[in-house]
Amino acid sequence: VRACALPHLAGTLGLWRVSERRLASIRRRKLQRLLRHAYENVAFYRSLWERARVRPEEVDGPEDLVRLPVVSKEDLLSCRLEERLAQGIDPSACWSSSSSGTTGHPLTVYTLPADRTRMNLGWFRAYLANGLRVSETMAAFVGRRQVRTSQRWYERLGLFRRVEIPAWWSVEEWTAQLELLRPAAITGYVMTLRLLAEHLRDHPHHRVHPRLVFHTSALLDEASRRLFEEQLKCRVVDLYGSEEAGCIAWECPRCPGYHVNADLVVVEILRNGVPARTGEAGEVVVTNLHSYAMPIIRYRQNDVASLAATPPRCGWQFPLLERIEGRVEDFLVLRDGRRLPPHPFYHCIDPVPGVQRWRIVQDRPGEMTLEIVAEEEQSDAVRRAVLAGLAQLTGGAMDIALHLVPEIPIDPRTKFRTIRSAVGALAPAEEWGATAKGGK
């Protein structure tokens, strides 16, 4: 993988020079190959497409994808792991990550190392296009407690150095680490960055001066964007991605909107199942062209966006999305008033084997109710593992009422929200359930 990754790196990062025609032919070729692979090797897609009476050869390019059924997270979860994994794939040899997003259903996504490298290029391209230099360091807030300390091969060459900071740490620890690292860029989730920016506002003598802030996942509301710009005194760039599809689209410094990484993903905007008109809002459905271990084909992101009417003006041939509406999140508030970002909660609960669906509701500081739908034979183990993780995360400053329930009802009038806090809401309560943007 390493030996052949360098030409890949150069090729993918250099794609802005390709013509529209060449990009279209790359997309068609990659799509046809992925569909053939999924049909031949993945039981889930084979039976899905056979039931729909459609064969992969009938899809010549992205415009024909409408012939295939749309797939939801629930569809993938409803089959056994070996049915959604390609034949001969060893999950332990894959890169894996879990995401429950707005649905409360954790789905573990498996990615081959070579695909992972390609998907990473989608993020790197967004960083470079926005002015980060390859030799500069980025600090990344992550939901995991254990951060990655090993360096990737390109980091050892002094490229794209990324240092992880656990969102579990206190905001004082974040600040100290950032002052030590002096990163050119910081990447994180809105709630984490919000806590950081508010802390820096209250401590004006800090030495945290990045040139760029990259925001990923969830909805970046205008008030938070302004707060980051004012307190960190730098440009704020919003990136749109998910565990399933990697970096889907990124804000361009010269165009209005987000460029779709069109050589890595196919994005469809659907309204009532058919492609929406330009400028018309619709649901985002993605196909990850580098998902060979567990193909992601016409996958419902649970987000809303529209295709921009204006062509790119920066030289990139990637089409533009405008107005991405995504997940709105809440803080969780501890007994002492301290607020925790929601992201580490996902990392505590999603990877626990046997967890099928969950949600957190908080009405008062220091108290929360966690409901989990678990596989019956694993319910005791789920309870123990989740409570142990949450005790570490909250440091005992939260009373947790954990209920194992047979199901979690969904109110069809509002969008399901995995974490909902009446005391830690950023958006006004009436905006709850209005919008969603995937990943986490």
In the complex, the smallest distance separating the C-beta of residue 129 from Zn ion, rounded to whole angstroms, is: 7
> By the criterion CB under 5 A, which residues form the site for Zn ion?
252, 254-255, 312, 314
The residue (of 22 and 254) whose beta carbon lies closer to Zn ion is 254
86 or 249: CB nearest Zn ion: 249
Which lies closer to Zn ion via its Cβ, residue 48 or residue 321? 321
**Min separation Cβ 254 and Zn ion, Å:** 5
Least distance in angstroms from the C-beta of 323 to Zn ion: 16
Question: Please, which residue, 191 or 255, has the CB nearer to Zn ion?
Answer: 255
Q: Which is nearer to Zn ion, 200 or 236 (CB)?
A: 236
Of 279 and 337, nearer to Zn ion (C-beta) is: 279
Min dist CB 249 to Zn ion, Å, is: 11
Query: Can you tell me the distance from the alpha carbon of 376 to that of 383, in angstroms, rounded to the nearest whole number?
Result: 11
Least distance to Zn ion from the beta carbon of 253, Å? 7
